[in-house]
Amino acid sequence: MKIGFIRGLTVNAEMANSCDKIIFADDTKGVSQAITAFIDEYAEEELFFQSLVELRLQISQMLPILEKANERCVTIRFIDKGHLPQLTDREYMRVLLGFSRQEKKIRSICTKESLARVRLEGTVIGRPAISTTTINEIRSLSHQHGKSIREVSAICGVSIGTVHKYAKK
């Protein structure tokens, strides 16, 4: 059976003619989650998408979808392959998967470079450190003075989770 997946509300004629059944994206889930669920549910069928544009996802957002399809040995057929109509469905998926993985690497490198640059400028990244004095005060108030977690949190000006973390030690 030929099953199509549509994110929007309109189905083009070629998609309608190519598919026996059309599934519309579930608005209660994120689109990536809806598509991966679609792939899981219909992995034994021929799967169709209108186009990348119709899915309205960036190439990096396609990575979990393409990896799921690759893992399940599913070939997704795109009705409109944009600037690459000469490619077979498998080739098109390989190209998209390659670009998605490359985009993930690029984003990782750029993030690491940005963090390194900010650190060199002296900016502290991450959660603020808690002083030894505050840690000792948390322990003292909770163990020796019998204060509740909420009371210690209010007195020390830290979150309840922080009090839990340091009061146990």
pLDDT in tens, 16-51: 999 999 999 877 778 889 999 999 999 999 999 999
- Whether 28 and 96 map to the same domain: the answer is yes
- Structure-block tokens of residue 26: 């579930």
Domain count, the chain: 2
Asked whether residue 8 is domain-assigned, the answer is yes
Is the residue at 126 inside a domain?
Answer: no
Q: What is the pLDDT of residue 19?
A: 95
pTM of the model as a whole:
0.70
The rounded distance, in Å, linking the Cα atoms of 146 and 167 is 11
- β-pair partners for 111: none
Kindly state whether residues 87 and 136 are assigned to the same domain. no
Domain span including residue 156? 132-167
